[in-house]
Chains A and B, each alone.
Chain A
């Protein structure tokens, strides 16, 4: 039997093509760069921040309300702390919120959606109706309620956001599973005797990975925004924690004479969400074309 002759043409791998196409889109590159920068800043915060102690509790009353200068690039706040250092440390908190919220949502929401769509029956009804219920809860209102009942802090606000975030992942996984399970290879696995668990998590899940990845990338930005909003409302991290949203809120009263207190944390939020959006969009365009092939 003549076996196919191995071609000497090396087709570029899917990954190489992806990189090539991605590099053609300047906006996506910008998004990626922003995200990388913020990640690096968050990881190496103690080494990058010029006045690391300011991020927590140091106070320098004599140095308050200094406008941006060489010594304090972002100025100082009402108790003399370096705003730049606080913004840098704040990136840690923001990323934490973004990653934790999305991680919880994925870990809870995706398996539920998979089971609902693949197993169907009573599972589907229960899971999807429960999802509908949770979807109807407005995140801000819930967070406020949680803050009123428990202490308002970063952890509680993260949990409150996750509480309302996971249903979207159930929906996503549900929709994807419904269409993937019609593919022949799923039937092949059933005909071979594979267990439902195997089919759901080892066959179907990898096929929705790209869609999930896009959503995760975009969501990290939105979760950070949500966390900042809660902080702004006072139900997130409390002062003196250098969370961006909290900083924006506190700086509001001083806006007329010390614009830098609000502006720089605000810009940080803006850039992070922008970066995540651009990168996520780029990723989606990329993967769409891949599918089209």
Chain B
């Protein structure tokens, strides 16, 4: 694997949110380890899906990986450069190379700014560009995302959810980044609008040579667009594989439960799902996580040892990694 095949790679990444000091005794509320030791590699031009439910840390991982948050541990390498400790001008320069698209169409656009102002902002920050060039660029981008030119004068409140997401996408594209982190870009949209946005994303990926880190909880979308999928639970990756492989051959009990829970709409899809698994039990509190396997409390396949040891991520076959004691006897850790 040549070093630059990966556009983004993180190693032992940690991101914890510390509580504030409260009270006379200055006791800190316990820290929340949102990202709790993640190794991830995103190859160029691929779509890498980060899958998980609420509390899995997928959004925090996405934001930390492109330095929206500063990591509390580990390293991040982007395009061969270590960006873990970037600050100041260096960080600002990096910003134009990796961008993010947000989930909520309404809160991700400043209601007081026109669409033009929103899209042109990154350009104004990153370069000396004349106002005529700016206008050209904005109009170009609006066309790229399928919006009419006149929209540049409009304000967010007069746009629909799908249109707002297109604006968000235009803004993410304006600095010509090589990586875009997409945080559940379609979960707030209706299914018919979602389909159009997804095909727009696919087209743009081809045209502009983009790499996507796609964060979602919707496995059906993942099946259709992702090259590689990483399943997250409580801040760690519990399974990672080439997508087709993950779906046809899931190993981790949580992955199986997730797959089993997808509401499908055709009988044919049923054949692509694993056996029925219903999770019971409680999710541990993120500020008080167990020292053994985090999934123990809900696992349907647990063994006695699971309550003693915290499993490491282990390779079970080519390009397929699992964090589960059932597979610990296989090849070495990552």
Contacts and interface: CB of A to CB of B under 8 A. Distances in A.
Interface of A: 1-4, 6, 11, 14, 183-185, 187-195, 198, 203, 206-207, 209
A131 B95 CA distance: 36
A193 B146 contact: no
B147 interface: yes
Given A1-B200, A4-B148, A184-B108, A192 B99 contact: yes
B100 A191 contact: yes
B146 A1 contact: yes
B101 to A, nearest CB: 9
Contact of B104 (A1, A184, A207, A209): A184
A6 B112 contact: no
Given A185-B109, A189-B121, A203-B110, A3 B95 contact: no
Contacts of A1: 146, 200
A192 B122 contact: yes
B96 A183 contact: no
Interface of A is mostly: helix
B66 interface: yes
Contacts of A207: 110-112
A184 B111 CA distance: 11
B4 interface: no
By size class, the interface of chain B is 35 or more
Contacts of B68: 187, 190-191
Contacts, number: 67
A203 B200 CA distance: 29
Contacts of A183: 107
Interface of B: 63, 66, 68, 91-92, 95-96, 99-100, 102-104, 107-113, 121-122, 125-126, 146-148, 150, 157-158, 160, 163, 168, 171, 175, 200
Contact of B148 (A6, A14, A185, A188): A6
Nearest to A182: B107
A193 B107 contact: no
Contacts of A193: 91-92, 95-96, 122, 125-126
A187 to B, nearest CB: 7
B109 A194 contact: no
Contacts of A188: 100, 102, 108, 168, 171
A77 B102 CA distance: 69
Given A1-B200, A185-B110, A192 B146 contact: no
Nearest to A183: B107
A194 B110 contact: no
A262 to B, nearest CB: 47
Contacts of B96: 193
Nearest to A5: B148
B146 A3 contact: yes
A42 to B, nearest CB: 32
Contact of B121 (A6, A11, A187, A194): A194
A17 to B, nearest CB: 11
